[in-house]
Amino acid sequence: MEEKYKKTVASDTASLTVRGNTFELPIYGGSTGPDVIDIRTLYRDTGMFTFDPGFTSTASCESAITYIDGDKGELLYRGYPIDQLAEKSDFLEVAYLLLNGELPNKQQDEEFKHAITYHTMVHEQLSKFFGGFRRDAHPMAIMCGVVGAMSAFYHDSTDINDPEQRKVASNRLIAKIPTIAAMTYKYSIGQPFVYPRNDLNYAENFLYMTFGVPSCEEYKVNPILANAMDKIFILHADHEQNASTSTVRLAGSSGANPFACIAAGIASLWGPAHGGANEACLKMLSEIGTVDRIPEYIDKAKDKNDPFRLMGFGHRVYKNFDPRAKVLQQAANEVLGELGINDPLLEVAKELERIALEDPYFIEKKLYPNVDFYSGIILKAMGFPTEMFTVLFALARTVGWVSQWSEMIEDPTQKIGRPRQLFIGESERQYVSIDKR
């Protein structure tokens, strides 16, 4: 972590009295956001653990990468507001920012883009892994497998203690993840893999490898789609210590190689409560079908006895609008408008949002549309099948995972993550032979 980023020790402390003994716990402040109480001596001093399933009140690390203010609906990448980056930057410039802490100057930008572009090809043998999957395998299953298998290819960049190898592995992952994602799609539709082109930018190249069939016809990248794709990648690049990023950090804390750690992140992101929500949201909108059926589903979402939740709504941190959802709502209007697509699901989504945001249940529980609410509609308009939505999320989030993994490895205080538990099972008891049971 950059030397200039340091926590400050507050002048006051937190007093904790446990069964007659009082302990003073240090309080630390960061550059912005909530202060933290250092509980690392608690078990030693009290013989007790803290209890925080889901880690809703727990800071797992110090980080200088991404800041979220859930009440304000604010998201900053290295201090820059997400809406400014989505409007003015491009994905690889944002990747450089997340990895290095500063926006690149012209030379740094050119060098980084060249390094990524010229590593987008994957080892030809890697394509043989695909043949082992059923052709109707879920693309996320293939992504978990193939990205994890990169550990079996790139042995010259798995020594996490070598900064140069960490940089090579980071660049390889960022460069090759679009190629692998496109190969995953091609495999599922039975078309040949398409090699990357170095004359296209990151988003254009991904669309070319995904939708191009060069052996049959020239594929012209639509600039509207390429711009929307790049914006979607920026919006999904990082998001503080979410479930998949925490998975990557925990896997990395044991010293596992970066390819295995990113594969673990992909597995966690797949869940419908996390990155799988964009796929689940579009399926939900399709199931609702028409505006007149929205009240029925709002009631189901409010019914405590019904496990149904409005996919694309709610967030562990945002208790205001997810700033990414605002940008994506605008992008949905632009992309569908410019493509001349009139998707009734967009109308259902807008009406569902309007009704939900007026409903006391959603207002009281501060449930707003999140990043996954509109992304599926744009991706569907761009021609992606629903099963590919989370693959695109993983493609973009690889930059955040790699940045957070690097920050963790470089943190001198880093140690293996090993939570404890409140044990509620059987106390010690003696074995009974089977003839006596």
Q: What is the rounded distance in angstroms from the CA atom of residue 147 to the CA atom of residue 364?
A: 41
Helices (H), 28-90: 42-46, 82-88
Nearer to ligand SDX, 280 or 336 (CB): 280
Nearer to ligand SDX, 250 or 317 (CB): 317
Q: What is the rounded distance in angstroms from the CA atom of residue 187 to the CA atom of residue 146?
A: 12
Q: What is the rounded distance in angstroms from the CA atom of residue 35 to the CA atom of residue 40?
A: 15
Q: And the tokens for 194?
A: 């398409």
Nearer to ligand SDX, 196 or 312 (CB): 312
Using CB under 6 A, pick the residue from 126, 140, 225, 301 that binds ligand SDX. Answer: 301
Q: What is the rounded distance in angstroms from the CA atom of residue 92 to the CA atom of residue 111?
A: 11
CB of 207 to ligand SDX, least distance (A): 22
User: Phi and psi dihedrals of 164, rounded to 5?
Assistant: -65, -40
Per the DSSP assignment, residues forming a β-bridge with 81 are 76
For the question of residue 372 being annotated catalytic, the response is yes
Q: Binding to ligand SDX by residue 367, rule CB under 6 A?
A: yes
Q: Binding to ligand SDX by residue 314, rule CB under 6 A?
A: yes
Q: Binding to ligand SDX by residue 274, rule CB under 6 A?
A: yes
Strands of 71-157 (E only): list them.
74-77, 80-81
Q: Of 104-112, 307-315, 383-391, 424-432, which part binds ligand SDX (CB under 6 A)?
A: 307-315
Among 303, 384, 318, 312, which Cα is nearest to 349's?
A: 312
Nearer to ligand SDX, 196 or 314 (CB): 314
Whether the CB-CB separation of 43 and 49 falls below 8 Å is answered with: yes
For the question of residue 315 being annotated catalytic, the response is yes
238, 239, 315, 322: which is the annotated catalytic residue? 315
Per the DSSP assignment, residues forming a β-bridge with 236 are none
Q: Binding to ligand SDX by residue 98, rule CB under 6 A?
A: no
Q: Binding to ligand SDX by residue 242, rule CB under 6 A?
A: yes
CB of 284 to ligand SDX, least distance (A): 9
Using CB under 6 A, pick the residue from 1, 144, 277, 391 that binds ligand SDX. Answer: 277
Q: Which residues bind ligand SDX (CB under 6 A)?
A: 239, 242, 273-275, 277, 301, 309-317, 365, 367, 370-372
